[in-house]
Amino acid sequence: MMTKKTPLVTGERVVVAVVVSRVILSLPLSLISHGFSLFLLCLSAFLVEIRAETSPFLLSRFSPRRGASSGILLGAVTLPSVMLSKLVQLTRAISLHEAGQDELSHVTMQYWAASASCCAILIYLSVVMSQAKRTESLSSSLWLTRVSLTGTVFYGVACFVSLSMISHTAVKLIRHLLCTFPSCASIGEALLVTSGLVLYFGDFLACTIAKICENMIPVDLVSISYGIKRTETGIIVQGLLLGLLLFPMVFRCVVHIYETFLRKRDGGQRNCSDAAKSILFFVSLVFFMVLAVPSWMQFVHDFHQHPFLWVLTFVFSEPLKRISLCIYWVLLIVVSVSRFYSISRSSKVERILLRKYYHLMAVLMFLPALVLQPKFLDLAFGAALAVFVALEIIRIWRVQPLGEPLHHFMNAFTDHRDSELLIVSHFSLLLGCALPIWMSSGFNDRALSPFSGILSLGIGDTMASMVGHKYGVLRWSKTGKKTVEGTAAGITSVMAVCFVLVPVLASMGYILSQGWWSLLLAVTATGMLEAYTAQLDNAFIPLVFYSLLCL
């Protein structure tokens, strides 16, 4: 089988190297071992990516998204870099007596868990590539496979022996994701999603296990691992999203039980009708999300009332501000979506530009709320994401009577990165804005870090696309569409907004210790990543920007 020659040095790899170097050089002495492990992970991912992009066998086996590079290096180092930047921030908090060792231990474990997930997936990809030697005969390719496999295995054995269950879960999850939703994501995007799911929901499951074993495990052991203070909002969002992701398995069991009952009653092979499935779907969804999942939340956090009642109490604790904000959101969504939908059906405006209007809408929705009501915005992001997940399940399964109309409506806003099987753009935009805000809870001495998603996507990415599309002449590469003019516009616009935002935050009492040179480096690196990467920028850019702002 012929191999494809790809350059060793690409713009995306250079930017990733700069970001990882910036993170490692910012580490205190107490985190040097963590930095060395990140370097090994980066080197292993680099070797695996080179091998993957010269082996059509690997890429075709998983049916990755067309038009995108493998993205293995970027996908492998993004989440560990974010967690390591968070550790750097926590060490500053401990020196100022603003955080405790238990929180540092918790984030340290999350860093190793994220690294273990990425490492396990790299080992799995290396093993898959090693099987290609039966059909490939080039000694250099085989040598590169052996080197990448050996280095990755060494890294995994050295660092993650105690995290074998996490590693096994990550491998199974990425295989399921790539096989269930072919052509919906690159390998790097699937790697980021997999490690994120393992880290986020594994944390909630570990809380549950710690609660169950509270009387069986020594108290000090539980407090070190999962004894950090958790907010009601965080528990509700985690439980709600995990419940929705587990619901498809629950619904399949319900349908199987119902069809078994029908066969026993009628004495023949009888399947559930579409109307009956729809009724079962909505009844099961209401029961599971209103009774089962809230009971799980109450068990984990010891709520004194039903979690949904707690949400109502929280919203009406400041009714004028929060109800007014909800009304503003609803009006903005209704007006914008109806207007953009009519434009998409009757106008020749390109989809990519039409979608950037949603980025601007995200700025109008989230920026005032983040400044005035940050705690309420945390909860609102979780509720919006839960609605998106529920609607996507309905659309994929074509649940009557909403499935087909919803499918046709959503298709009006898709582009080449979406497929009819799974539409990810709205998820990535919402998560890109939400994740930096969620991760900034607790101690935060970098006031701009919660705004990293809104600034990079709502301002930088939007201005880069619009200016580049209309005025761009000089392209960064011969095959790409990104232009120098667009990138310059994106970087300049983000810096301009920061110059306006910093005095506003200072007047409201936010801690401002971010140097302008480090801010310029973070904005520039993020802008260059947007220019060179072929991955889903909504997913990677906010996380990279956040990790650099935390340093």
* pLDDT digit string, tens, across residues 128-164: 777 655 555 444 445 555 555 555 555 555 454 445 5
With respect to residue 541, please indicate whether it lies within any of the assigned structural domains.
Answer: no
Q: Give me the pLDDT at residue 137, please.
A: 47
- Average the pLDDT over 458-470 and give the result: 88
Residue 249 and residue 183 share a domain: no
Residue 276 and residue 200 share a domain: no
Using DSSP, state whether 60 is helix, strand or coil.
Answer: helix
Residue 385 and residue 270 share a domain: yes
Q: Give me the pLDDT at residue 546, please.
A: 94
Residue 1: pLDDT above 80? no
Q: Are 514 and 549 in contact (CB under 8 A)?
A: yes
Residue 127 and residue 63 share a domain: yes
Q: Give me the pLDDT at residue 199, please.
A: 83
With respect to residue 359, please indicate whether it lies within any of the assigned structural domains.
Answer: no
DSSP, residue by residue, 348-364: ---HHHHHHHHHHHHHH
What are the C-alpha distances in Å from 167 to residues 40, 112, 542?
17, 11, 25
Using DSSP, state whether 198 is helix, strand or coil.
Answer: helix
With respect to residue 274, please indicate whether it lies within any of the assigned structural domains.
Answer: yes
Residue 102 and residue 186 share a domain: yes
With respect to residue 41, please indicate whether it lies within any of the assigned structural domains.
Answer: yes
CA 362 to CA 433: how far, in whole Å?
A: 8
Residue in this structure with the two tokens 């089962």, named with its chain if needed: 292
CA 154 to CA 151: how far, in whole Å?
A: 5
Q: Give me the pLDDT at residue 82, please.
A: 94
Residue in this structure with the two tokens 């929901």, named with its chain if needed: 201
- Average the pLDDT over 472-492 and give the result: 85
Chosen domain end from 179, 213, 247: 213
DSSP, residue by residue, 48-64: HHHHHHT-HHHHHHH-P
Q: Which helix (H) or strand (E) holds 467?
A: helix 462-471
Most confident listed range (6-15, 99-108, 216-225, 448-457): 448-457
pTM of the full structure: 0.89
Residue 235 and residue 91 share a domain: no
Residue 543: pLDDT above 90? yes
Residue 175 and residue 202 share a domain: yes
Provide the residue range defining the domain that includes 311. Answer: 231-299+301-317+372-390
For residue 490, the tally of other CB atoms under 10 A from its CB is 28
CA 6 to CA 11: how far, in whole Å?
A: 13
CA 71 to CA 192: how far, in whole Å?
A: 10
CA atoms within 13 A on the CB side of 20: 26
Task: Determine what percent of the chain is predicted with pLDDT higher than 70.
Answer: 82
Residue 122 and residue 242 share a domain: no
What are the C-alpha distances in Å from 107 to residues 129, 159, 202, 437?
33, 16, 13, 16
Residue 495: pLDDT above 90? yes
**Domains of the chain: total:** 2
Q: What confidence category does residue 224 fall into, taking pLDDT thresholds of 50, 70 and 90?
A: very low
* pLDDT digit string, tens, across residues 392-414: 889 888 888 888 888 887 776 67
Most confident listed range (337-341, 349-353, 486-490): 486-490
With respect to residue 178, please indicate whether it lies within any of the assigned structural domains.
Answer: yes
With respect to residue 544, please indicate whether it lies within any of the assigned structural domains.
Answer: no
* Residues composing the chain: 551
Q: Give me the pLDDT at residue 24, please.
A: 94
Q: Are 52 and 44 in contact (CB under 8 A)?
A: no
With respect to residue 483, please indicate whether it lies within any of the assigned structural domains.
Answer: no
Using DSSP, state whether 272 is helix, strand or coil.
Answer: coil
Identify whether 401 is preceded by a cis peptide bond (ω within 30 of 0): yes
* pLDDT digit string, tens, across residues 75-104: 999 999 999 999 999 998 888 888 778 888
For residue 316, the tally of other CB atoms under 10 A from its CB is 10
Q: In the structure encoding, which two tokens stand for residue 341, read together?
A: 């939908």
Question: Which of 27-36, 265-274, 431-440 is the least confident region?
Answer: 265-274
Q: Which helix (H) or strand (E) holds 153?
A: helix 139-159
DSSP 181: S
- Average the pLDDT over 287-292 and give the result: 90
Q: Give me the pLDDT at residue 69, please.
A: 77
CA 77 to CA 397: how far, in whole Å?
A: 34
* pLDDT digit string, tens, across residues 302-321: 777 888 899 999 999 888 88
Residue 236 and residue 100 share a domain: no
Residue 244 and residue 310 share a domain: yes
Q: Which residues have C-beta within 8 Å of that of residue 293, sequence separation ≥ 6?
A: 239, 240, 242, 243
Chosen domain end from 161, 187, 213: 213
Residue 381 and residue 309 share a domain: yes
Q: What confidence category does residue 190 fall into, taking pLDDT thresholds of 50, 70 and 90?
A: confident
Give which of 535, 550, 537, 546 is closest to 65, Cα–Cα.
535
Chosen domain end from 390, 423, 443: 390
With respect to residue 398, please indicate whether it lies within any of the assigned structural domains.
Answer: no
Q: Are 344 and 352 in contact (CB under 8 A)?
A: no
CA 544 to CA 78: how far, in whole Å?
A: 7
DSSP 550: T
For residue 431, the tally of other CB atoms under 10 A from its CB is 22
Q: Give me the pLDDT at residue 264, please.
A: 78
